[in-house]
Structure 1
Amino acid sequence: MDTEAQHTERDPSSDTDTSGTEEGSRSARVSDGSERASEDSGSASEDSSRAPSWRRTALVGGACMAFLLLLSHFVIQPFLIPSGSMEPTLQVGDRILVNKLAYRFGSEPARGDVVVFDGTGSFVREQPKDNPVTGLLHDGAAALGLAEPDETDFVKRVVGIGGDRVVCCDKDGRITVNGAPVQERYVMLGDRPSSVPFDIVVPQDRLWVMGDHRSQSSDSRDHLGNPGGGMVPVDKVVGRADWIAWPFGRWTTVPGTDAFGAVPAPPAGGHGAGAHG
């Protein structure tokens, strides 16, 4: 009986060892599974963080582009100088910044201002519309100063404003405005103020404009016989050229002028006979 009892008794130590081994293997399996899950979730999070990075870049780029386009549409527009008609003040390849707020709050272009304007109807005839998509892309590039401006956009200097009588030339070869001679030191060295004689009265809300490189500039003088007589409507002015932004070696403000300081206001009753608009 003792022998049977000994055979049927269970060894407490053997139970403990077995359960410990089972628990250890269980914990090892659980630990191994959690590590794999952790690795999988880590790689998934890395993939998810990597995946939208191009989207963020595209969104930031799009937002910056939209901001620049809004800025150029309402405040400051870069403008590429495509010709030498404004030399020496502006050189071919200059990128100027046009202040579009200069004439927004009651101010109007003044004599001596360098302005950018849309010459449609005054310098050029109405043109048929281009492909809208191509036109939109070009306008966007031109607005950022990355492409040449539209063929209807011009940059010139204001010589006469509404009511002025502008005459070329007096006995000393100078242009006169309201009878006062103008010392145009900004004109290209060697150029005459004009080789084309004229005597005009600028209508109200119009401008008489000329390039500084007079022998190379197609300006109001070239459109005397056209409808409008070469006068630019004030509401076609895009803005005033205030800064040269590129190249960096020419980074400066567009020089002002005191050439018109002695010009009197036009007479209240208008100018006498002999002048024409």
Structure 2
Amino acid sequence: MCRHFAYVGPPKPLGELLVRPPHSLYVQSWAPRHQRYGTVNADGFGVGWHADGDPLPARYRRSGPVWGDLSFADLARVVRSGTVLAAVRDATLPGADGEAAAAPFAYGPWLFSHNGAVAGWPDSLAVPARSLPADELLGLEARCDSALVWALLLHRLRAGDEPPQALADTVAEVAAAAPGSRLNLLVTDGTTITATAWGDTLWYLALPGGDGTVVASEPYDDDPRWRRVPDRTLLTASRTDVSLTPLKEPEAARRARPDDVKEPTA
């Protein structure tokens, strides 16, 4: 399991968002407080951000743990952005993909992260994969479940679906094909954040005075204004507003749903 984070609001240094808080994403790479699957997020990390005047986001990704990258510490001190998406990747099976398997994945204005795992990977997604054009399959950045989930989502975005509909349909498709999957997805287009809570924790913090919105796998501090997103929920957020919509669950996914996530607590 991984941990991920998104912010939209007034420009802030990456370090203020990702490093400085007492339980920041940086700290969650070795000491997460709410992570139920896996313990150390050391198999890569990444951060993506949008800069004023450029429609395409920048990314910085590495295959090792974030705490061992001194260049990231320097970058986080000086880079500022009003839209940030970052993730640390759980220790996982050996593979040759390296930083290509580390979120965020990107295309056009979009940045994407998957916090979770596809049950029965890779066989379980053989049928959904066949729905993708050959060039989109061949263009996968990495041969991991998150990269294919991103390809399924991106196919819908490129066809013109808005992010909330694209995320909801992608989760439904993958959950039906691979019951028991954990599908906390997170995407931003530089203006809004769209996310799903599906099998693991997701929280949001509406900063006071319209100072932005944070969406994360777990709170980065003990501010009592953090709110838990119920499981099987779609979240959409701007810098001033957050809305939550229940997601319809395929029957196969409902039967395979673990008991420990049927009744999430706040």
* TM-score calculated relative to the size of structure 1: 0.24
Larger radius of gyration: 1
- Name the structure where strand makes up a greater proportion of residues: 2
Normalised by the size of structure 2, how large is the TM-score?
0.25
Higher helix share: 1
